[in-house]
Amino acid sequence: MDIQSIKIDLIHWLTELEDISVLEKLQTFKNQEEESLSKAHRDLLDERISSYQENPDSLIDWDDMVKELDERL
């Protein structure tokens, strides 16, 4: 069964579903999926963590950065 067939089957099943507890569980699952990081975001975080671990002294303090930006503007 291909992905489109699975989706259609689930849509039909959902439209006839009357069990509120199952619907609530599915809603919770959907919300968790929406809140999780995308692969691109995870990759970016991994890249930045690696960069920090390789050279932790290269960081700029947030307060210093804000002060520098204020001075420039």
pLDDT tens track for 5-40: 999 999 999 999 999 999 999 999 998 888 888 889
User: Which sequence spans correspond to the domains of the chain?
Assistant: 3-72
Contact residues for 45 (Cβ-Cβ < 8 A; gap 6+): 37
pLDDT value of residue 21: 95
71 neighbors 63 (Cβ within 8 angstroms): no
Query: What's residue 29's pLDDT?
Result: 92
**Residues 46-68: tens digit of each pLDDT:** 999 999 899 988 888 899 999 99
Which pLDDT value is given to residue 59?
A: 84
| pTM of the predicted model as reported, rounded to 2 decimal places | 0.47
Whole-angstrom distance, CA of residue 11 vs CA of residue 60: 50
